[in-house]
């Protein structure tokens, strides 16, 4: 019997290096996650997504896989993962793992063999190409992390493709042996019992076999949507030959056929470096490829009502039968509270702002992905250059400070060394400002962001319209984002004040407040809601009371 547990699911992303250190070596691990499952379960989430824990040289902290079937020793053992999976299932939590399918580490045995010569059995398993007549790379493709996307290999007298670090060579998915081998790695984890796969950077899975040059984009350097930094030349190309190729969609269809051989499994793809809304729709709306997509729209756009309304409207217009999973923070982007506070109208009360953002995230139509610490309202950490670990930040400092600021360890207790994350020196420092937001301290405060998140997620589960219902935007004053959710005979009007000023919002129709969500009551008289700064209001038709 197939279920659709993933529709409307709240997924909690865990960055294992930074979650909890059980063996006192300064790095989080799988046993640490298992020990914190009660905390996760109490959040009211439906699933956990664990960023890569496979054997790796850790040049890109696990996104450079050396062996897909082995847990890296810094995270524990395969037995530790099996114990985690069993314990999570006992608590009703689904487990999603992060599959990096577009590239491996250069230390993977496949690449070691492929690099030897042009005649070995795996010679065609990666993307190799001859140099131009003058010895330069075969085309103009660029790496996200700076410079050419091609690296010279003297033994083969050829270049290999890497969209990210040069230690992350791209697999050649135009070769059937590669397809068979990678699908075998997928089967390994499905057989182990994982409930879903988050497909990393899935738009990079295949490349143009003719290796044609990407055309110029001619970007506006002031465009805030160009991330991570407009001065990175990677942003100066239209990625028509390196992203979202026709072969990728074919392969996602084949992967879905494999997944369908197992009950209740889930595929969610990360979509970036493309027109994200339309590509997310293309990958999900037929029901023959991915179940859902997760993109960076809400992690890149300014958090204004016009911008949010545009994203919602565009998504609703093209998604059709597809499904999206919304996220405002993750391990690659600046934490949402800090990013939101770039706008003066969202400054003044970080705790109230964090609550507003979480309530909005959990009210959009689709799933929701909450990144560890988001439920605490953590701001972005400031990391000194000498403490940086992220190669991206080291390359582009100080224009871009990298991703370490959102990857710092979880603060569990303000009264313990390193916030209770580890007694040893952590791999990244625990920022002082995070200690006051530690989970143990927020447990004791009924008005904390953590307690609000727990109440809201529990309340949301009681209203099918918020979990799987349709969404229709409603016209409202600009600081107020308004929409209606409908489903299972239920209608809920949702109002969010995206400003630090009180706002009066006229409500069309006969409504009355819907309580139980954990926010302070809003004064509502006849057809008018008086929203405080960062306030929210939910209503149901008067006749439904």
In this structure, the number of other CB atoms found within 10 A of the CB of residue 543 comes to: 7
User: What are the angstrom distances between the C-alpha of 308 and each of 32, 305, 334, 498, 509?
Assistant: 36, 5, 18, 10, 24
CA angle 368, 98, 266 (to 5 degrees): 60
Distances from the Cα of 158 to the Cα of 161, 165, 302, 372, 412, angstroms: 10, 17, 43, 42, 50
Closest CA to 512 of 479, 543, 481: 543
Reply yes or no on whether 200 is catalytic.
yes
Peptide bond before 295: cis, by omega within 30 degrees of 0?
no
DSSP summary character for residue 248: H
Exactly one of 64, 153, 244, 270 is catalytic; which is it? Answer: 270
Residues in the chain: 545
Q: For tokens 């990244």, what's the residue? A: 428
Catalytic residue among 29, 98, 106, 200: 200
Residue 270 annotated among the catalytic residues of the structure: yes
Q: How far apart are CA 341 and CA 337, in angstroms?
A: 6
Cα(445)–Cα(438) distance, rounded to whole angstroms?
11
> What is the per-residue DSSP string for 505-540?
EE--S-EEE---SSSPP-EEETTEEEEPTT-EEEEE
- Could you give the angle at the alpha carbon of 66 between the alpha carbons of 62 and 67, nearest 5°? 105
DSSP string, 287-337: SSS-SEEEESHHHHS---HHHHHHHHHHHHHHHTT--EEEES-BTTB--HH
Closest-CA residue to 83 (of 72, 95, 73, 68): 95
Q: How far, in Å, are 9, 115, 146, 165, 428 from residue 160 at the CA level?
A: 39, 9, 16, 12, 32
Residue 492's H or E segment, with its range, is strand 490-497
Residues 6+ apart with CB under 8 A from 87: 34, 37
Strands (DSSP E) contained in 372-423 are none
Q: Do residues 449 and 376 lie in contact, with contact meaning Cβ atoms separated by under 8 Å? A: yes
Q: Where are the beta strands (DSSP E) in 379-473?
A: 470-473
**So which residues are the catalytic ones?**
200, 270
């Amino acid at each position: 019997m197939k279920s659709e547990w993933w529709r409307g699911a709240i997924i909690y992303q865990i960055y294992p290096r930074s979650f909890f250190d059980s063996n006192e070596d300064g790095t989080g691990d799988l046993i640490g996650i298992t020990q914190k499952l009660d905390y996760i379960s109490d959040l009211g989430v439906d699933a956990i997504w664990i960023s890569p824990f496979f054997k790796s040289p850790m040049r890109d902290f696990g996104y450079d896989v050396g062996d897909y079937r082995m847990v890296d020793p810094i995270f524990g053992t395969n037995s530790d993962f099996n114990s985690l999976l069993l314990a999570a299932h006992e608590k009703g939590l689904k487990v999603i793992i992060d599959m990096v399918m577009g590239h491996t580490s250069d230390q993977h045995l496949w690449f070691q063999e492929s690099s030897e010569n042009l005649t070995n059995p795996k010679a065609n398993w990666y993307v190799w190409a001859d140099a131009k007549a003058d010895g330069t790379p075969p085309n103009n493709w660029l790496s996200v992390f700076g410079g050419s996307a091609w690296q010279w290999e003297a033994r083969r007298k050829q270049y290999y493709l890497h969209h990210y670090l040069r230690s992350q060579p791209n697999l050649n998915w135009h070769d059937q042996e590669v397809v068979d081998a990678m699908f075998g790695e997928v089967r390994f984890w499905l057989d182990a019992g994982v409930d879903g796969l988050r497909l990393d950077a899935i738009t990079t899975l295949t490349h143009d076999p003719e290796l044609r040059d990407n055309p110029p984009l001619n970007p506006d350097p002031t465009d805030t949507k160009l991330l991570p930094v407009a001065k990175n030349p990677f942003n100066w190309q239209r990625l028509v030959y390196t992203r979202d190729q026709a072969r990728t969609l074919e392969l996602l269809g084949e992967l879905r056929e494999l997944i369908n051989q197992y009950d209740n499994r889930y595929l969610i793809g990360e979509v970036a470096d493309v027109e994200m809304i339309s590509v997310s729709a293309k990958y999900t709306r037929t029901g023959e490829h991915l179940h859902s997509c997760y993109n960076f729209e809400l992690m890149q756009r300014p958090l204004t009502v016009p911008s949010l309304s545009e994203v919602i409207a565009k998504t609703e217009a093209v998604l059709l039968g597809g499904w999206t999973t919304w996220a405002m923070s993750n391990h690659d982007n600046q934490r949402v509270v800090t990013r939101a506070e770039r706008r003066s109208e969202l400054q003044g009360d970080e705790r109230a702002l964090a609550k507003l953002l979480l309530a909005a995230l959990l009210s959009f139509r689709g799933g929701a992905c909450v990144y560890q610490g988001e439920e605490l309202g953590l701001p972005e950490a400031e990391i000194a250059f000498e403490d940086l670990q992220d190669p991206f930040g080291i390359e582009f400092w100080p224009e871009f400070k990298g991703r370490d600021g959102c990857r710092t360890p979880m603060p569990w207790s303000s009264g313990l060394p390193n916030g209770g994350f580890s007694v040893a020196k952590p791999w990244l420092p625990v920022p002082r400002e995070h200690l006051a937001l530690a989970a143990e301290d927020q447990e004791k405060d009924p008005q904390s962001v953590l307690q609000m998140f727990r109440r809201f997620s529990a309340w949301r589960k009681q209203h099918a319209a918020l979990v799987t219902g349709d969404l229709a935007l409603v016209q409202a004053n600009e600081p107020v984002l308004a929409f209606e959710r409908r489903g299972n005979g239920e209608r809920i009007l949702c109002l969010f004040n995206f400003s630090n000023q009180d706002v009066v919002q006229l409500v069309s129709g006969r409504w009355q407040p819907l309580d139980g969500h954990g926010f302070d009551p809003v004064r509502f008289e006849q057809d008018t809601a008086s929203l405080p700064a960062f306030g929210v209001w939910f209503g149901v038709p008067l006749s439904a009371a």
